[in-house]
Structure 1
């Protein structure tokens, strides 16, 4: 980087209005992803919204920050320079928020987290009710993501935390830049049409000849169930591929097949479905992931405690060490 370019840019930025942290985050993600679509997906905005905000950032700076290269966008020299400063600014903001929280005992904060359906319905209502009662200054906002996407959203700074899963037959890859706080351990159970199984407990292999309703093989859940079935000597005959356990349960209730469901879903089992225990159950560990910082934000510690309490009240308390 030429000193003259950096000097001109610095003089110019001293004269402009306050830079938006949201636009700086968008700039950082554009640099990381290479496309507006990729940046928008990581930040959970529409591509048009990101394009508009980045265009506004260029107007604020008064310089060209991007060059189109086909479908991709390359940052100019000034764009790269601003991105480098954006990284420092956003890191400083996070450190400042942490310092304020610790000075105030963590009583005022806003956190954004990633969830999936069964966690959102099975753990969050009780956890956030307890948090609101004991620490009303902490606001938690959530967004539903596929379990496969939640850790990445924390790693790239889009979210403060997210729920992640590991299966006894299929452990998830892990990034050392993230910390994993174990929340609960769930069992998977067989869900079958009412009256189709005579015993309340069966081996997984007893479902080998059944038609299956199951998530796709690219999802963590679908892959883990397939691995468990293969370990028990069979390949599930999947006739209906659906991603949500609630949808799979509705299809089981209609007699269309069998599936596996987790503990957190048992409260919403519809009529027409029997739940059978497995003699060698498949387990999954639910954890909360956040970026590795020292010390951990006080507000985040309180969220973790509230969710762990909600899990313990459901009989799903776990040890502190993931599989």
Structure 2
């Protein structure tokens, strides 16, 4: 990912350095990437368990709509009171996201519905509620604290990007340093081994989808901070994009392996490519083609690397373990 990032920056820098390497354009890339990046980190968490969360963008929009609606309603009567209540309004939006994650967790863990079907259903449900709520129109208004977050910088680095990095660091630390993070990885790597290790699958899934709902709400707040508007159809293309970023960042779709660092780098790579295509005045459709080409190239490279490594393993038993590590979750089970 680091190599891809360097290649992308160098390529567009050579072609349109006057536009692409402009400090304002670089700042714009750092402002645009956090909301996508947080959603991609959440998607990687869901994939880590062998599942998926298609409702993340809907949860983010639901959070933004909740905060914008409540804030605007209070500000219509007393703007100063709306600012005083801003922390509580933001907390309400976060709780909405966690509640959305709780519904996903219940359907997946307790009822036993496949994650792709459960989250597809909740995505439709959350989107439908949001459309009925807003009447299909765009809402305007956000607490000043969010607007300030969206416009402030630290040493020319946008605060939104700093928040994204902090969230990624915390999630990475959670995965690598806590028993819960280890349980998530073992759950996705081998369900049977997790069971015999004393790990409660239901608890892990509940914790995972509550966390993805929480991250979805954070993404909604970042969306509102970047542009103080909210709508039910914002980021319609984000669902597929965050899946691409998660896989591109090294997440195993079958579960068991993911790196937050890889997801962050993949987010930056695709943001650089998108900005580079814009500087070259290429269309969004051509950018979509580039996304697919990059993803295929990385997956092909990864498969070639794995096959070469397997051929270097002389011991049959060790090779069998290596193959199992990269097999789908159901086969490993």
TM-score, normalised on structure 1? Answer: 0.26
Higher RCO structure (Cα 8 Å, ≥6 apart): 2
Q: Which has the higher helix share?
A: 2
| Higher Cα radius of gyration | 1
